[in-house]
Amino acid sequence: MRMDQLKNIFVLLAGTYVKFLLLCSVLIAPLSLIPASAGADPLANRKFVYHIYWTGIKAGQAVLRYQSTPEGIIIKTHATSADWLSVFYKVDDRAQSTLYPDGYPKEFRLKVRQGRHKRDKVTYFKRQKGDEPQKIIFYNIRDDEKLEYSFTTPAYDPLSAFYEMTKWDLKTGQSHFINIFDNKKLWNTEVQVLRKERISVQAGEFDTIVVKPILQSEGIFPKTGDITIWATDDHKKLPVLVKSKATIGYFKAVLVEGDF
């Protein structure tokens, strides 16, 4: 195989990997937020680390950090490609969501660095008052584009939407729906509850509930194939494993350590 052919394969792989990496940085973040235990410092930072593999080869990692403050919750994710993949296509993506104490979003920021491709976007969420429509302001910083939207039902950003899932009573065979505002559109997203399963990962052994979000958006929620999430079967609903098919092989994100 010629070098140019090999490079094209890696670029194709990188493109699919970028979508999965960005998706993982969103899916793992809000589900990992759990109330501080009795006596714990409510302002303490917490961190969870996930390694991401392509067909058994480590391709990068996603790191979650969050802080619980009197004003609300701040979630930060940082997804990066491994050194070998960065030679062909470097990834350095950051997302941050600021939430009210009840988990409803105030602001969502996305900073994407994927090869030569760059995105910087902010979405502001206004509280819905009575029968008034909810206002959402979308600002594309690099293009200096500002748009305002009104919706009759509450909408969440990608991070706060999956944080909201921690409040759901997930039962096998059921589906839940939530409105997610992503990339200038409102998506009524279905989350299917598939089964319960005990699995072992680097961070330990867990009883999990397996869910499958039916993702439609092409924004921060790109279509990478079927996405399956193994989350702890308790009030934490902490994702310990995420799997997806790829153009070549498959991807998975595995929890390796965290401040439980």
Given this model, what pLDDT does residue 18 score? 47
**pLDDT score of 191:** 84
Are 171 and 39 within 8 A, CB to CB?
Answer: no
Predicted local distance difference test score (pLDDT) of residue 208: 93
How high is the mean pLDDT in each 10-residue block of the chain (260 residues)? 44 50 52 43 69 84 80 81 82 85 85 85 87 90 93 83 76 88 84 93 93 66 67 82 78 85
pLDDT digits (tens, 9 = 90+) for 7-37: 444 444 454 544 555 455 555 554 444 444 4
| The two structure tokens encoding residue 39 | 């006596």
pLDDT of amino acid 60: 85
DSSP label at residue 36: P
Burial degree of 107 (CB within 10 A; 0-12, 13-18, 19+): middle
- Please name which of 233, 201, 238, 230 lies closest in space to residue 33, comparing C-alpha atoms: 238
Residue 4 parent element (H or E): helix 3-31
Q: What is the pLDDT of residue 7?
A: 45
Kindly state the tokens that stand for 160. Answer: 């706060």
* Containing structural domain, residue 45: 3-258
Query: Closest Cα partner for 193 from 207, 172, 208, 178?
Result: 172
Question: Whole-prediction pTM value?
Answer: 0.80
Residues with Cβ within 8 Å of residue 37, at least 6 apart in sequence: none
Number of domains in the chain: 1
What pLDDT does 2 receive? Answer: 45
Task: Let me know how long the chain is.
Answer: 260
Whole-angstrom distance, CA of residue 34 vs CA of residue 27: 15
Q: Are 160 and 181 in contact (CB under 8 A)?
A: no
